[in-house]
Amino acid sequence: MPRYAMVIDLQRCVGCSACSIACRNENNVPDGIYWSNKLTETSGTFPNVRYHYIPTLCNHCENAPCVRGCPTQAMHKLDNGITMHNPKKCIGCKYCEFNCPYGVIYFNWTYPHKEWKNKEKVLEGTTSPAEEVAKTSGKTLPYYNPEREDTLAGIRPKGVVEKCTFCDHLVKRGKLPRCVEACPADARVFGDMNDPNSKVRQLLGKFRPFRLREQIGTEPHVFYIRDFNPANYQPSKGGI
Amino acid sequence: MNQTKSSNGLFFTWLGLLGISILIGLFAAFKLLTEGHHLFNANDVLIWSLPLGVYIYLALTSSGLTLLASVPLVFGIKRYEPFAKRLVFLAIGALLGGFVSIGLELGNVFHMVYILLSPNLSSPIWWMGAIYSLELVVLLIKFQRIHAGDWDSRLSKWLGKVGFLCALIAPLMIGSVFGLTESRVTYFGPVMSIYCLFMAILSGSALCLLYNLIQAQVTGNVISGDKDALFKEFTRIFTGALGAVIILTLIKFFIEGSTVIPEFLNYHKYAQAFGSIAGLNTEVILGLFLPFILISIPGLRHNNSTRILTCALVLLGTLAMHMEILLAGQSRPVGPKAEQFPDVISYYPSSWEWMVFLLAVAVMLLLFSLGERFLKLESTPA
């Protein structure tokens, strides 16, 4: 059985957020919820200043606190290591969200994609955007992806949590997660940790990877390698 | 005759007020079920708010009351028996109020069946829910047995023991819900469970004293003789619990104030949601220190007005302390949520949250009132 993992090469990542947009489209993610997100940080003071950008997603931890804490096993592990959620079992206690050390689980506080259900007319005598979309596409959401329904509710209902699933519905069919496919810089590499010849294993052997908040023992399966830094300096021993 | 009429009038006015509060709460429940929890002033950083704080408070109070009821019912100390039936009933009322509050905090209460169908034994929330549910069932049967005059049968004694164990373990489970989170060190790990147990005994003994004193005043009963001696003993238990919580709170303050762990340094930015007096949290000064001082003064200790004031202060203070701890631990975004949310989240309950609070408290008080009127809560073994 494979154990899936992702390696993110920070030297290749340009911070374009194509991963986040692709994820949103693939998984019908509502506004305010981010399955694919980023950490940004500015260090130093001008002119000696740097901007750091780290893409984030569910880490599909080996020792996932969200899975351990979920009272109904709605949050569970698949045999391939993916941390999956079943909204039909979710009681909306939000403990997984409270317990996640990475801030990658979100709660549906209201009906998702509410804005596309608004029947308010733009002007008197005209139609509403929601009506137009329904008339033209037959769907509530113009960019709705029905493939998501293979393994999870296409749109998750209000009152339950949701998060990245490593696009398990695509992986099941032998395809790569959407964020990996969409990355224009090939900064995301996906594969099987159990296969010694897989690209992820090669990269993890070749570079010294780090993971987010490794010290708490959750064993994340999203690894980061390298860093992008164009800065240079003249050799110096400093001074007093 | 006229006194009975006036007392009935007051009782039905009180029931009317509770009825209106329950209707308001039910309207909020309907809105939450149909529109979602965006009606709360919670978000993906400050995930749990007032309804959860109220649940913790009432559930712990119920555990405290059950532990007090165990003194005569499990440990056989007969002189406490006049309080036993009422304590069991108060514990049931407080727990049902807590369940109302947590039920409306949950995003999908109708999926609760999966707690039974798909249990996760590694989840502290599962254990907390299971033990409190068991405690409620045991308390209800125990109350029914006592009401039927069965205080000492094997079944009745066994129910008392199970209830005692539930009341002892459940607060530890509430503490572990917070203490076992890897990402939130400010909840003090396993120490939180011990803290919750002492808070349970404190708020339980405060409610026990306050309720019995008010009940005596409303019904015009004179507290004298054996009963007065019992009130003095309950006051000692209450004072002991108050002292223990003060010690734990001071240790917590010292650790928070001296550590340089980044999470604790950040924590200070939100650690005084209710303001401060001389640098210390208002709810701790008014809800712990002041009552302890008042109840420690020999001339005031056995004065009923002082007891009522100290118990009321402690009950308000412990609720505020639970809210303070709950909110401060969630005040800063975790990971990438810092991209979406401010550095420190400020919070004030929405009107819908207050309505949930009102519903939970009104359900509890309605049960207390009906029980007091119709269930002979002062009865003792024949």
Cβ of A65 and B182 within 8 Å? Answer: yes
Question: Does any domain span residue A234?
Answer: no
Report the residue of chain A nearest B35, measured CA to CA: A110
Say whether pLDDT at A89 is over 70. Answer: yes
What distance in Å separates the CA atoms of residue B163 and residue B66, rounded to the nearest whole number? 7
Report the residue of chain B nearest A105, measured CA to CA: B44
What distance in Å separates the CA atoms of residue B67 and residue B89, rounded to the nearest whole number? 13
- Whole-angstrom CA distances from B121 to A83, A160, B56, B133 are 18, 21, 21, 15
Q: What rounded mean pLDDT belongs to chain A?
A: 94
Q: In this predicted model, what pLDDT tens digit does every residue of B24-52 receive, in sequence order?
A: 999 999 999 999 999 999 999 999 999 99
Concatenate the DSSP letters of all residues of A115-148 into one string. GGG----SSTTS--HHHHHHHHHSSSSTT--GGG
> What is the structure's pLDDT at B269?
65
Sign for the pseudo-dihedral over CA of B9, B10, B11, B14: positive
Number of separate domains in chain B: 1
Question: Does any domain span residue B330?
Answer: yes
State how far Cα A87 lies from the chain centre.
18
What distance in Å separates the CA atoms of residue B340 and residue A113, rounded to the nearest whole number? 18
- Look at residues B38, B46, B345 and name the one whose alpha carbon lies nearest to residue A31: B38
Domain of residue B133, CATH code: 1.20.1630.10
Question: Does any domain span residue A198?
Answer: yes
> What is the structure's pLDDT at B264?
82
> For residues B111 and A88, is the Cβ–Cβ distance under 8 A?
yes
Report the residue of chain B nearest A41, measured CA to CA: B339
Non-local CB neighbours of B120 within 8 Å, separated by 6+ positions: A68, A70, A71, A72, A73, B126
Cβ of B337 and A103 within 8 Å? Answer: yes
Question: Does any domain span residue A230?
Answer: no
Mean pLDDT score, A87-116: 95
What single DSSP character describes residue B286?
A: I
> In the structure encoding, which two tokens stand for residue A11, read together?
């030297």
> What is the structure's pLDDT at B4?
67
Mutation pick from A40, A53, A66, A72 vs chain B, by most beta carbons of B within 10 Å, is: A72
State how far Cα B300 lies from the chain centre.
26
Give B340's contacts in chain A (Cβ within 8 Å): 32, 34
> What is the structure's pLDDT at B154?
96
> What is the structure's pLDDT at B43?
97
Question: Does any domain span residue A200?
Answer: yes
What single DSSP character describes residue B189?
A: T
Burial A55-85 (b: 16+ CB within 10 A, else e): bbbbbbbbebbbbbbbbbbbbbebebbbbbb
Residue A77 φ then ψ, to 5°: -100, 140
Give the residues of chain B that fall short of pLDDT 50: none
> In the structure encoding, which two tokens stand for residue B348, read together?
């004030």
What distance in Å separates the CA atoms of residue A122 and residue B21, rounded to the nearest whole number? 40
Collapsed DSSP state (helix, strand, coil) of residue A165: coil
B122 part of contact set with chain A, CB < 8 Å: yes
Q: A47: cis peptide before it, omega within 30°?
A: yes
Number of separate domains in chain A: 1
A-facing residues of B in 124-153 (CB < 8 A) are 124-126, 129
Cβ of A37 and B339 within 8 Å? Answer: yes
> For residues A162 and A106, is the Cβ–Cβ distance under 8 A?
yes
Mean pLDDT score, A87-99: 97
How many residue contacts between A and B have a Cβ separation below 8 Å?
A: 148
What distance in Å separates the CA atoms of residue B101 and residue B323, rounded to the nearest whole number? 14
> What is the structure's pLDDT at A118?
82
> For residues B105 and B51, is the Cβ–Cβ distance under 8 A?
yes
> What is the structure's pLDDT at B29?
97
Mutation pick from A19, A58, A93 vs chain B, by most beta carbons of B within 10 Å, is: A93
Question: Does any domain span residue A25?
Answer: yes
Cβ of B47 and A65 within 8 Å? Answer: no
What single DSSP character describes residue B289?
A: I
- Look at residues B94, B42, B40 and name the one whose alpha carbon lies nearest to residue B65: B94
Q: Measure in Å the smallest separation between the Cα of A163 and chain B Cα atoms.
A: 12
Q: Measure in Å the smallest separation between the Cα of B102 and chain A Cα atoms.
A: 9
Give B333's contacts in chain A (Cβ within 8 Å): 103
Cβ of A65 and B183 within 8 Å? Answer: yes
- Look at residues B178, B172, B131, B115 and name the one whose alpha carbon lies nearest to residue A71: B115
Question: Does any domain span residue A132?
Answer: no
Q: How many other C-beta atoms can be found within 10 angstroms of the C-beta atom of residue A219?
A: 13
What single DSSP character describes residue A81?
A: S
| Domain that residue B305 falls in | 16-371
Non-local CB neighbours of B247 within 8 Å, separated by 6+ positions: none
Give A90's contacts in chain B (Cβ within 8 Å): 107-108, 111
Question: Does any domain span residue A161?
Answer: yes
A-facing residues of B in 322-381 (CB < 8 A) are 330, 333-340
What distance in Å separates the CA atoms of residue B215 and residue A91, rounded to the nearest whole number? 39
What distance in Å separates the CA atoms of residue A91 and residue A95, rounded to the nearest whole number? 10
Partners of A228 in the beta sheet? none
Q: In this predicted model, what pLDDT tens digit does every residue of A160-184 receive, in sequence order?
A: 999 999 999 999 999 999 999 999 9
Q: How many other C-beta atoms can be found within 10 angstroms of the C-beta atom of residue A53?
A: 15
Report the residue of chain A nearest B127, measured CA to CA: A71
| Domain that residue A24 falls in | 4-114+146-225
Question: Does any domain span residue B102?
Answer: yes
> What is the structure's pLDDT at B271?
57
> In the structure encoding, which two tokens stand for residue B165, read together?
């164990």
B47 part of contact set with chain A, CB < 8 Å: yes
Phi-psi region of A144 (alpha: psi -120 to 50; beta: other; left: phi over 0): beta
Q: Measure in Å the smallest separation between the Cα of B156 and chain A Cα atoms.
A: 31
> For residues A88 and A161, is the Cβ–Cβ distance under 8 A?
no
Question: Does any domain span residue B10?
Answer: no
Q: Measure in Å the smallest separation between the Cα of A90 and chain B Cα atoms.
A: 7
Question: Does any domain span residue B162?
Answer: yes
Q: How many other C-beta atoms can be found within 10 angstroms of the C-beta atom of residue A137?
A: 12
> In the structure encoding, which two tokens stand for residue B20, read together?
């209106």
Mean pLDDT score, A89-116: 95
Cβ of B335 and A56 within 8 Å? Answer: yes
Give A212's contacts in chain B (Cβ within 8 Å): 335
Give A63's contacts in chain B (Cβ within 8 Å): none
Question: Does any domain span residue B382?
Answer: no
Give A38's contacts in chain B (Cβ within 8 Å): 336, 339
> What is the structure's pLDDT at B176?
96
What distance in Å separates the CA atoms of residue A85 and residue A164, rounded to the nearest whole number? 9
Concatenate the DSSP letters of all residues of B21-73 into one string. HHHHHHHHHHHHHHH-GGGSS--SSS-S-HHHHHHHHHHHHHHHHHHHHHHHH
ipTM of the complex: 0.93
Q: In this predicted model, what pLDDT tens digit does every residue of B55-102 receive, in sequence order?
A: 999 999 999 999 999 999 999 999 999 999 999 999 999 999 999 999
> What is the structure's pLDDT at B263?
81
Q: How many other C-beta atoms can be found within 10 angstroms of the C-beta atom of residue A50?
A: 11
**Of the candidates B43, B125, B339, which has its C-beta nearest A93's C-beta?**
B125
Domain of residue A199, CATH code: 3.30.70.20
Question: Does any domain span residue A11?
Answer: yes
- Look at residues B344, B293, B282, B348 and name the one whose alpha carbon lies nearest to residue B317: B282
Q: Measure in Å the smallest separation between the Cα of A105 and chain B Cα atoms.
A: 8
Whole-model pTM?
A: 0.94
